[in-house]
Structure 1
Amino acid sequence: MEFLVDMVTTVPPGTSDDGVAEMRAREAARSAELTAQGSLLRLWRPPLAPGEWRTWGLFRADDADELEAVLASMPLRAWRRETVTPLTPHPNDPGQPPR
């Protein structure tokens, strides 16, 4: 199954610039691991308001429980809220093989 995840991150007040940089580095490393495992397929940056930190991600998992485990493994999870949308193939999707 594929899932679209809207991730909005809020850095806790008082977090140092070094703390933010360290967290971003850990998130980037984990994202690379998830990509290699086939769990993280794509990331997008939607239009942002000033100061907003938001990402859309396309994930693949067997079910919602597996997706939850993947999201829980990401360091930035501690600072963000997520909205998960399960996706199902559209019959006219040009990316699907003909039946």
Structure 2
Amino acid sequence: MREFLVEITTSPPEGTSEAEVAERRAAEAVRARELAATGRLARLWRPVGESRSIGIWRAEDEDDLHGNVLGTLPLRPWMNLTVTPLEPHPNDPGRS
């Protein structure tokens, strides 16, 4: 599996009800736990004072990432994504 740094900004469309936003956010939390359990979502952060998320996601390739991982998120239609493929650095202190 390859790793990807993914920056996500979620913006519900104008006029979306608070109930729909809450329902999708709850479903998103469930799906994120499922993806974490399968190793597809490795880490997730929110920068202080911002509404965007930054995460380390795992997939076979970018098609797999978009189709079978990020594409399964309930909030995906409202997301703007920046995806950066990652590779190991020879000086990474966490490298085994």
Q: TM-score, normalised by structure 2?
A: 0.92
Determine what percentage of the aligned residue pairs are the same residue.
Answer: 55
Paired positions, count: 94
Structure 2: stretches of 5+ with no match in the other structure: none
Look up the SS of the partner of 2:23 in the other structure: helix
Alpha-carbon distance between aligned partners in 1 of 2:49 and 2:60, rounded to the nearest angstrom: 31
Q: How does 1:58-97 map to 2 (within 5 A)?
A: 58-69=56-67, 70-97=69-96
Following TM superposition, the consecutive aligned residue runs of length 4 or more in structure 1 with deviations greater than 3 angstroms are none
Structure 1: stretches of 5+ with no match in the other structure: none
State the Cα RMSD in Å.
Answer: 1.1
Match in the other structure for 2:21: 20
The structure with the largest alpha-carbon Rg is: 1
Alpha-carbon distance between aligned partners in 1 of 2:16 and 2:62, rounded to the nearest angstrom: 32
Match in the other structure for 2:43: 42
Alpha-carbon distance between aligned partners in 2 of 1:71 and 1:33, rounded to the nearest angstrom: 12
Look up the SS of the partner of 1:58 in the other structure: strand
Letter in 2 for 1:16: S
Q: TM-score, normalised by structure 1?
A: 0.89
